[in-house]
Structure 1
Amino acid sequence: MANWLHSLLPGVFKAEPVVPVIRMSGTIGRVSRFRPGLTLASVAGPLKKAFDNKKAEAVAIIIDSPGGSPVQSHMIYKRIRALAEEKQKRVFIFVEDVCASGGYMIACAGDEIIVDPASIVGSIGVVSAGFGFVDAIHKLGIERRVYTSGESKVILDPFQPEKPEDIRRLKVIQEEVHELFIDLVKKRRGSVLADDPEIFSGLFWSGKTAVSLGLADRLGDMRHVLREKYGDKVRLKLIGAEKSFFGMRPGRVGAGLAAAAGEGFLDTLEERSLRQRFGG
């Protein structure tokens, strides 16, 4: 329809621009019975619904995550890119408090990454952490009994002394995953990344510095940016997974309230510990 004719139509006949909005918040890959983390399974439905919106030229994704599973992060990243290319829609990523590690991997699926000046961005690396209880079980008089049919089935067992060969094997895996992460960032951000080796060292920065390093494109907030792109009448449509009591989907509310409270408390502690690494 010609622009001059479109301008003569009453407002009721003019289609307002629509941008579906998806929120991805929390630890990636951490799943309990009562508090699912961010996984491909948990976001696949909302992503499909958002990208299937024929009236939308773009999809906005809000990210607030300290990271987690590199596998789930990569799968979510790939699904976003596949849908964006299939449906020919731009993807805007809006970072809230933290977009680190796996959270940043997902953010790289965006055509544009927008951050708050005080957002925490980066931590491009791989970490594996745990505890050793070797001396503790001896002091308590506990005897460890493990029976395996493979000599490496108890690799890095926290109740046995560390072995140099086990650590070397873990480091090889970490390096491979780190290289995948680096290649992904360079593929998506290579043209704007600063020439700074610390970008891939695992360090993290404020949103303001992330923009100067090329890890993000600009400072801003979702409403202002999308109005700037699509006009003041743009309509933001929040797309989310249907949830009910304790964050479960309908039909799964039932027994185990005490277990729910206990698991929810532990999950909160775990996510809190991850966020505290970034000052959250």
Structure 2
Amino acid sequence: MADNQTPDPIESSGPDRRRASEPEPGWERAALERIALAAITEQRAARRWKIFFRFVFLAVLLVIVWGVFDISGERVSTTGRHTALITLNGEISSDTDANAEDINTALDNAFDDDGTAGVILRINSPGGSPVQAGIINREIRRLRAKYPSIPLYVVVDDMCASGGYYVAAAADKIYVDKASIVGSIGVLMDGFGFTGLMDKLGIQRRLHTSGENKGFFDPFSPETPKMDEHAQQMLDQIHSQFIDAVRQGRGKRLHETPDVFSGLFWTGEQSVELGLADGLGDTDYVAREVIKAPDIVDYTVKESITDRVARKFGTAVGAAGVHAIVMGGKLSLR
């Protein structure tokens, strides 16, 4: 009977028991590979999430920039009867916010909107380029003829002088504050001459030209009677164009005196007496009491992000400065 009993596994011993309890060869390497693979997988997942959140942040930032700076450049979408507002602020020039292209684009969009009851061009400008001012003046007259039922009124803030008034003269009516500065109907050409300083410093100007008049208005060369005469002829011609635009726009409302076209400027209150303006009033007053459409929609073309960055770094200012130094003289209505 005892010979037929099965041995207890616990009591088993020998080489077979030892082989069953020992790990397989190379288990350390396999464990390290699994740990390393898990770490790599975790790093990849973390990297993907990091990239995802960066894209989300960038998208949110773009949406904010889009809303704040209006980089789309799309026209205003409106509903209902309203007063259209366009702002002309600062020097009138092709490289500033007050350039003819942007102002005329805003004017076209405002007049073309079916809900526009009237247009207000709010001006705060000391003047600027006679070319840019003339382009805006002509566009206002064209739009007034094309849309005879939509009036355009100019509202003056602090200043509407020279080129600013060149633009304003095309409006149906001009409203000012009693302390606004209005007028300065004239043209100037300014620059610098360094010939006296160069003589004192012993500096010699070496200028070679093809064409006897090519060096006109060079700031490092002396003026000549012929140069002065030619410049004065140009100034007088542009001044005459300015006067014609004011007379055409203001008509019989203008009370001409020897000083009106002399380059003098007046307060808003005086400008009404002279017929340079029609009355006192701000933007809200004109929209509410004159146009009878108190809801105001701004059609002003906003500056793009690229233009803003370029201007911050002085691209436009630097170009203008170099141009002024090289040319020596710059025509302007201011």
Alpha-carbon separation, structure 1, partners of 2:291 and 2:218: 55
- 1:3 maps to none
Shift of 1:203: 0.4
Per the normalisation by structure 2, the TM-score is 0.67
- 1:48 maps to 108
2:216–2:227 Cα contact (<8 Å) kept: yes
The answer as to 2:190 corresponding to 1:129 is yes
Unpaired stretches in structure 1, ≥5 consecutive residues: 1-14, 244-248, 267-277
- 1:100 maps to 161
- 1:26 maps to 90
1:98–1:121 Cα contact (<8 Å) kept: yes
Per the normalisation by structure 1, the TM-score is 0.80
- 2:50 maps to none
Alpha-carbon separation, structure 2, partners of 1:131 and 1:217: 39
**Across the two proteins, how many residue pairs are aligned to each other?**
243
Q: CA 1:87/1:190 → structure 2, altered by over 3 Å: closer, same or farther?
A: closer
Q: CA 1:166/1:262 → structure 2, altered by over 3 Å: closer, same or farther?
A: closer
- 1:73 maps to 133
2:83–2:291 Cα contact (<8 Å) kept: no
- State the secondary structure of the residue aligned to 1:99: strand
- State the secondary structure of the residue aligned to 2:189: coil
Alignment match of 2:143 (pick from 69, 77, 83): 83
- 1:11 maps to none
RMSD in angstroms over aligned alpha carbons? 2.4
Alpha-carbon separation, structure 2, partners of 1:191 and 1:40: 28
- 1:161 maps to 222
Shift of 1:91: 0.4
Q: CA 1:261/1:129 → structure 2, altered by over 3 Å: closer, same or farther?
A: closer
Shift of 1:251: 4.8
2:118–2:291 Cα contact (<8 Å) kept: no
Alignment match of 1:182 (pick from 216, 219, 243): 243
Alpha-carbon separation, structure 1, partners of 2:97 and 2:291: 32
- 1:194 maps to 255
Unpaired stretches in structure 2, ≥5 consecutive residues: 1-78, 322-333
Alignment match of 2:212 (pick from 151, 167, 173): 151
The answer as to 2:127 corresponding to 1:63 is no
- 2:297 maps to 237
Alpha-carbon separation, structure 1, partners of 2:109 and 2:311: 32
Work out the percentage of aligned pairs sharing the same amino acid. 39
- 1:272 maps to none
Q: Which amino acid aligns with 1:17?
A: R
1:17–1:234 Cα contact (<8 Å) kept: no
2:165–2:182 Cα contact (<8 Å) kept: yes
Shift of 1:55: 1.3
Q: CA 1:213/1:253 → structure 2, altered by over 3 Å: closer, same or farther?
A: closer
Q: Which has the larger radius of gyration?
A: 2
Alpha-carbon separation, structure 2, partners of 1:236 and 1:254: 30
Alpha-carbon separation, structure 2, partners of 1:238 and 1:180: 31
- 1:5 maps to none
1:17–1:230 Cα contact (<8 Å) kept: no
Shift of 1:37: 4.4
1:118–1:207 Cα contact (<8 Å) kept: yes
Q: CA 1:16/1:200 → structure 2, altered by over 3 Å: closer, same or farther?
A: same
Q: CA 1:196/1:251 → structure 2, altered by over 3 Å: closer, same or farther?
A: closer
2:170–2:245 Cα contact (<8 Å) kept: no
Alpha-carbon separation, structure 1, partners of 2:122 and 2:108: 16
Q: CA 1:170/1:217 → structure 2, altered by over 3 Å: closer, same or farther?
A: same
Q: CA 1:30/1:253 → structure 2, altered by over 3 Å: closer, same or farther?
A: closer
Shift of 1:225: 2.3
Shift of 1:38: 2.0
Q: CA 1:192/1:253 → structure 2, altered by over 3 Å: closer, same or farther?
A: closer
Runs of 4+ in 1 over 2 A off after TM superposition: 138-143, 250-264
Alpha-carbon separation, structure 2, partners of 1:64 and 1:120: 10
Q: Which amino acid aligns with 1:43?
A: I
Shift of 1:250: 3.7
Q: CA 1:42/1:151 → structure 2, altered by over 3 Å: closer, same or farther?
A: same
Shift of 1:226: 2.0
